[in-house]
Amino acid sequence: MKLLHLIVMGVVLCSCTFQTKHRGYVFPDDLADQVATINTTSALIEKIGTPQVKTMYGDEVWIYYGADENYRGPLAPTFTDETVLLAWVKGNRVLKTQVLEDADLPEVRLAEGETEIPAAIELNAIEELFNNIGRFSPAGLGQ
C-alpha cells in the first residue's frame, strides 16, 4: 500500500512541472528609453530587429511583441511580462514609438470551439478519401 502511495505521489509531483518559455522578442529593461532616441527605420532594425507585423491599411505601424509563457503542470498556460512595441513609420523615418506593458494591454479571451467558415463544405472521412482520388500523380513521374 505504501508503494502505491509513493507511485501516485511521484506521478503527481512529476505532472506539476514549472516551465517558462519566452515568445517573441526579448526586450531590454530600458526599452522605452532606447526607442525614444531612434529616428530611422535602419536604427530601429539594428537595435530591436525586424518587426513581426507591419500594418497593411492606414498609417504604417511596425509591431513587436514579447511575452513569457508559463506552464504549471496540468493547468492552462498563462502569459506574463507581455510587452508590445509600436513604431509609426513613414518612409525610412520613425515618427513615434509607444511601449505597452501588461497593464496597458486588454484582456483577450479565446472563444471555445471552432469558428465556422461561411459556405464551407463538410466532408466525412469516406467523402474525403474519394474526393482525393486522382489528385496526386504516381511517384517518380515528376509531375
Per-residue pLDDT of the chain (143 residues; tens, 9 = 90+): 788 777 777 666 666 667 888 888 888 888 888 888 899 999 999 988 899 999 888 889 999 998 888 877 777 777 788 888 889 999 899 999 988 888 887 777 777 777 777 777 788 888 887 877 777 666 655 55
- What does the domain layout of the chain look like in residue ranges? 17-106
- The closest alpha carbon to 98, from 142, 62, 135, belongs to 62
Cα separation, 130 vs 122, in Å, equals 14
Give pLDDT, residue 109: 76
DSSP class of 85: E
Cα separation, 78 vs 67, in Å, equals 10
CB 10 within 8 A of CB 23: no
Give pLDDT, residue 93: 93
